[in-house]
Amino acid sequence: QVKLVESGGGLVKPGGSLRLSCAASGFTFSDHYMSWIRQAPGKGLEWVSYIASSGSSINYADSVKGRFTISRDNDKSSLYLQMNSLRVEDTAVYYCARGTDLVPGPDYWGQGTLVTVSS
Amino acid sequence: SSELTQPSSVSVSPGQTVMITCSGGVLAKKYARWFQQKPGQAPVLVIHKDDERPLGIPERFSGSSSGTTVTLTISGAQVEDEADYYCYSATDNNMVFGGGTRLTVL
């Protein structure tokens, strides 16, 4: 069965950095778009970034552009999110989600990892 | 417009039918998905391609589309359907979620 397990969340000060990881199993990782989606406490879902199966197409929400970098390692079936210059408003649960081979629209989601940005 | 608009809350009595709408210009050209999220849990896909139900999703969940509005219908709502529901679609380059609708079953 499809399994997505995020890790790397934690408490960081404003201006700091954090790297999130997502370990995938139960499907052919290299065939699928992958994305990061976040949810601030008590708020709705917000798309952060997606990456195509080969890594050839990448896009970011305006709120994180220039600060966050998405990447993937198909040999390790892993997705990453490097987050720099973190702000208080980046505090959220970050979900890793699987897309299809053609579009990033998510179907399966991980359980999420909490990132707290606070001084 | 790349925004998707949902009602913030709806309520239904057990066994009754409830509809949750999602409106946005992108829906005239792109498929929509619906996700169910219960407290403390990750979202679960309940409808994709406007009206297709993934394996394992109960038949009481259905979707429809008309112009710039998509609708999630729960026919015979159950207490366990109480959750937040989010619509989703995409522009050419961006992913976009609706603001979410809290469904209360009481």
B49-88 pLDDT, tens digit per residue, is 999 999 999 999 999 999 999 999 999 999 999 999 999 9
Residue to mutate among A45, A58, A63, with most B CBs inside 10 A, is: A45
pLDDT bin (cut points 50, 70, 90) of residue A53 is very high
Residue A36 CA to residue A22 CA, distance in Å, equals 9
pLDDT of residue B92 exceeding 90, the answer is no
pLDDT of residue B35 exceeding 70, the answer is yes
Question: Does A114 reach chain B within 8 Å, measured CB to CB?
Answer: no
Residue A33 CA to residue A102 CA, distance in Å, equals 7
Given A47, A108, A109, which is nearest B94 (Cβ)? Answer: A47
pLDDT > 90 in chain A, percent: 95
As a whole number, mean pLDDT of residues A7-28 equals 98
How many helices (DSSP H) and strands (DSSP E) are in chain A? 0, 10
CB contact under 8 A, A106 and B94: no
pLDDT of residue A101: 83
CB contact under 8 A, B42 and A50: no
Residue to mutate among B31, B95, B102, with most A CBs inside 10 A, is: B95
Please choose, from the candidates A64, A36, A66, the residue with its C-alpha nearest in 3D space to the C-alpha of residue A51: A36
Residue A1 CA to residue B63 CA, distance in Å, equals 26
pLDDT of residue B1 exceeding 80, the answer is no
Chain A residues inside the 8 Å CB shell of B96: 47
